[in-house]
Amino acid sequence: MDLSSIIGPILAFGAIIGGMLIEGGHMGSIMQMTAFIIVFGGALGSLLVCYPLPDVIFSIKSLGTFLKNPSANPEEILKDILDLAQTARKESILALEKKRDGIKFEPLAKAVKLAVDGTDPNIIRDALETEAHVVMEEQEVAVHFWEDAGAIAPTIGILGAVLGLIHVMENLDKPDEIGPGIAVAFVATLYGVGSANIFFLPIGKKIKRKAVIDGHARMMVSIGVEGILSGMNPKVIEEKLACFVHGHSGGE
């Protein structure tokens, strides 16, 4: 579980609500079902216009990526690649088969299988690069979905506020209802801006970052397996892959 994805929204939401309560506000003033329906129903409808249904479903499922640590751990991948390189150097490429079950990163396990099967190194590289490209494009769909949600929600919130103000203007002959009516109108703006900046935009940025980490890990696999198949010294492979590890870890 990615703790920052849990702690971040809780901290932001808690700080905002806490500040409101300190200033004498109360939860009832921002709990408006009508505003909720306008903002989130309107935003979802707009997103359905923007994206095909399968993309919407995929993007919602990508919340799992947001909540979990990256499956790609650069340090662990480097360790596995060096272990494979040592084994291939001391024994043979075929000896890598016994190591495959212990590899957690699926692209590396798949590359080892292809190598053991005698697949041409160029074909292995092309297969890895193609898969990395497709995975990155799929993740970009989710990134754009959540970024668009962050752009649309505040605008729908303003629309909700305008609708609320129209209702207030229709009841100017009732002075006692004007103040509460205006307050209710701005709740929609609060929902739109709040959801965009606490949830939607940060979710998009987090998924994008994790996609980059996954892309780097797949590049490590491509470079490492190519080095192993060419008989490269493990020390040289380590030097080539060290830049992917320093200063970053995608650990569990």
Q: What is the pLDDT of residue 51?
A: 95
Q: At residue 139, does pLDDT exceed 70?
A: yes
Give the Cα separation of 21 and 220 in Å (integer). Answer: 50
Determine what percent of the chain is predicted with pLDDT higher than 90. Answer: 37
pLDDT of residue 97: 84
For residue 123, is pLDDT > 50? yes
Burial of residue 250 (CB within 10 Å: 0-12, 13-18, 19+) is: buried
Taken in order 220, 222, 225, 227, is the CA torsion positive or negative? negative
Q: What is the pLDDT of residue 208?
A: 93
69-81 residue pLDDT tens = 877 788 899 999 9
Region of 233 (left: φ > 0; alpha: ψ -120 to 50; beta: rest) is beta
Q: What is the mean pLDDT of residues 45-60?
A: 95
Give the number of other CB atoms < 10 A from CB of residue 107.
23
CA–CA separation, 27 and 12 (whole Å): 16
Q: Give the distance from CA 122 to its chain's centroid.
A: 31
State how far the Cα of 112 lies from the Cα of 100, in Å rounded to an integer.
7
pLDDT of residue 9: 87
Comparing C-alpha atoms, which of 85, 108, 100 is closest to residue 221?
108
How sure is the predictor about 156, in pLDDT bands with cuts at 50, 70 and 90?
Answer: very high
Mean of the pLDDT values across residues 193-205?
94
**Residue range 82-110: mean pLDDT, rounded:** 87
Per-residue confidence band for 246, with pLDDT thresholds at 50, 70 and 90:
low
Model confidence at 166, in pLDDT bands (50, 70, 90)?
A: confident
Global pTM reads: 0.81
